[in-house]
Chains A and B, each alone.
Chain A
Amino acid sequence: MKRNVLLNSMITLAVGLAIGITIGWVLWPVEYTNTPPQLLRQDYRDDYVIMVAETYSVEQDLGLAADRLDLIAPGEPQRPVIELANRLIDAGENTAVLTALAELARDLGVDNEAIRLHLGEAE
């Protein structure tokens, strides 16, 4: 008798656990509504970096641009700019966007041949 009760309890505990996890992961998962830019999907993150670069060309506020980039690459704001610029160069993308990225990268202290080339400063 007691053995059966113990077995039934274990089974129902496991069933309850499974139902609870199904509810928590599938039916009503935690909803995120206050996410940081770091969690944006890759294409949105790319767009974010482009917008930061283009906005920098309008506002000319390097500190603000760096702060914005810091949200998706903490501590190394120039990294997403360089990565995106390299990808766009490989894809043969819009030169206006590349120029904005190159200007921002240069002003963030990046100095390489590709940047200078896009800014018409190559030696």
Chain B
Amino acid sequence: MNPRFWRWVVPSLGLVLGLALGLVYSWVINPVQLINTYPGLLRSDYRHDWIRLAALSYVADDDLGKAQARLASIESDDIIPALETLIEDFAVVGHTAETMRKLTTLAKSLGANTPAMFVYAPTARDTPTTQPTVASTQSATPTPMPTTTPSPSPMPTNTPPTPTQKPQVTATSEITYQSVIPSPSLTISPTNTPSLPTATPTPILTFQMVEKEQICDFATSPPHIEVLVQDEDEEPLDGIQIWLIWDDGADRAITGLKPDLGSGYADFQMDSDLTYGLGVGELGQLLVTRLRPEPCPDQDADTPPIGSWRIVFQLGLVQTE
């Protein structure tokens, strides 16, 4: 055999073989052992549980800084969906308002945004036009007000209480939408600016039923009531209260808590013995009455199965009071 073969090829093969053996040993047989990991390296399900634990610990200890520090090593792409899921699960199950408010505060501080949060954090949808600050009010276009000078609030303010302080209360869908969010802190007037004149119109949303349809898809049993709420352009509207009323009770749902079914969607289970009414919005405007479970027509069975109902409400005229 060629002497060059022995001189170069065989040692080269030895090098390659040694390299391969070294890699097998260090990657497979005896890899680096990690014993001091951090939450960001946890397996996905453990990581989500860590997020849940951090959030619920915040509910218990009310220490926002600590909760944020506990989540600091985890990607926000992981945190936000987990918090949104937690809040929506808790909203559906029904936890105390204080718990929901704290979860919402934490989620909001981390950039989460889900329909269930609107109920407990009314400022979640606030835009700069609805939160006039000192700077924004100074630059606001003067808007003559036909009423009296606003009375200054007890809080000190850097700007004189002139009529130009009026926030941008326009007929945009953003602000009118907020008027249905059920919270006392939804007043558009910030606390550190003069209060609004009492004659300022308060937008009130009105809805109308545009569709009532019986659903005979029995895969979705038991019988239930599906509610879809739309705006004027037939776009789904989330965060709207729906009231289900019957003889001796009532239940409430908020649209958008089941995002996979649409942001304007809410539903209720139906009891076959009861007759229901449906109310919409902050005022519980009763739009449907005598809604009761009814057998589906055109069924061959002697006792045709009970169908569900799909009710569609659409935003109507914005009234003021």
Q: How large is the interface on A (under 10, 10 to 19, 20 to 34, 35 or more residues)?
A: 35 or more
Is B44 an interface residue when CB atoms closer than 8 A count as contact? Answer: yes
User: Within the assembled complex, what's the spacing in Å between the Cα atoms of A62 and B39?
Assistant: 23
**Contact B38 A40, beta carbon cutoff 8 Å:** yes
Contact of B53 among A15, A36, A48, A96 (CB under 8 A): A48
Assess the A44–B56 pair: CB atoms within 8 A: no
Q: Is A17 an interface residue, CB under 8 A from the partner?
A: yes
User: With an 8 A cutoff between CB atoms, is A117 at the interface?
Assistant: no
B53-76 at interface with A (beta carbon < 8 Å)? 53-54, 56-57, 59-61, 70
Q: Is the CB of B22 within 8 A of A20?
A: yes
**Cα of A14 to Cα of B14 in the assembled complex, Å:** 8
A71 within 8 A of B: yes
Contact A23 B26 (CB under 8 A): yes
Note all chain A residues with C-beta closer than 8 A to B53: 48, 51-52, 55, 68
Determine the interface band of chain B, counting residues with CB < 8 A from chain A: 35 or more
Q: Chain A, 47-87, contact with B by CB distance < 8 Å: what is the 0/1 string?
A: 11011101101110000000010010000000000000000
Among B4-12, B111-119, B259-267, B311-319, the stretch that binds chain A is B4-12
Give bound CA distance, A36 to B44, whole Å. Answer: 10
The answer to whether residues A44 and B39 also contact, given A5-B10, A16-B21, A36-B46 and a CB cut-off of 8 A, is yes
Interchain CB contact under 8 A, A19 and B22: yes
B25 contacts A24, CB within 8 Å?
A: yes
| B60/A21 in contact, CB under 8 A | no
Q: How far is the CA of A16 from the CA of B17 in the complex (A)?
A: 7
Binding site for B on A (CB under 8 A): 1-2, 4-5, 8-25, 29-30, 32-37, 39-42, 44, 47-48, 50-52, 54-55, 57-59, 68, 71, 96-97, 100
What are 16 A-B contacts with C-beta separation under 8 Å?
A1-B6, A13-B18, A20-B21, A22-B22, A30-B31, A32-B37, A33-B43, A34-B43, A36-B42, A41-B36, A51-B70, A54-B57, A55-B52, A55-B56, A55-B60, A96-B61
